[in-house]
């Protein structure tokens, strides 16, 4: 029986089939070169695809039917919306449409008569008073400025007419 652990060699000598560090370095350099070449090819392909994807003319050429159908659908939708709005406006403007609106208003008034002549709340009254005071003040200032401009222009007009 040997004193050493089974399967473990105590020798410090290298085996004959073990590669040298220089051979390992050369093998890794070759692998790195291959990987770089593959990456260069992939990056070039991605760049080509990016250019193709962002080329609008090329995409329109490739997908002309889809682009045409999409534009046609958008234009039809827009035209249909405009037509529908005009049709509704004409329908409401007719006498029968106005009578229908009046009938709806009367039915709303009979269902909820408390809403017809509802008193405003205290907050509503305060806001209304403040808004009317602000508008009155603004109108007063505008009128004062307008009158002042008219008065300032009259003497200049009188001097100009005397000089003639």
Rounded percentage of the chain residues whose pLDDT exceeds 90: 63
For the chain, which residues make up each domain, given as ranges? 122-164
Do the beta carbons of residue 146 and residue 139 sit within 8 Å? no
Write down the pTM of the prediction.
0.39
Residue 105 has which token pair?
Answer: 């208003």
Residues 89-142: pLDDT tens digits? 998 889 888 898 899 999 988 998 887 777 888 998 999 999 999 999 999 999
Q: How far apart are CA 128 and CA 126, in angstroms?
A: 5
């Amino acid at each position: 029986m040997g004193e050493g652990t089974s399967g473990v060699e105590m020798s410090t000598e290298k085996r004959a089939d073990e590669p040298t560090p220089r051979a390992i370095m050369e093998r890794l350099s070759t692998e790195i070169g291959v990987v770089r070449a593959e990456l260069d090819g992939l990056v070039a392909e991605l760049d080509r695809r990016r250019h193709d994807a962002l080329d609008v003319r090329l995409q329109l050429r490739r997908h002309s039917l889809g682009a045409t159908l999409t534009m046609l659908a958008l234009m039809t939708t827009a035209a249909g919306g405009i037509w529908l709005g005009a049709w509704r406006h004409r329908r409401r403007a007719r006498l029968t449409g106005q009578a229908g609106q009046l009938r709806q208003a009367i039915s709303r008034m009979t269902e909820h008569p408390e809403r017809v002549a509802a008193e405003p709340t205290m907050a509503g009254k305060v806001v209304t008073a403040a808004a009317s005071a602000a508008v009155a003040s603004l109108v007063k200032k505008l009128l004062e400025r307008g009158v002042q401009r008219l008065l300032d222009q009259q003497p200049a007009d009188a001097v100009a007419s005397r000089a003639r």
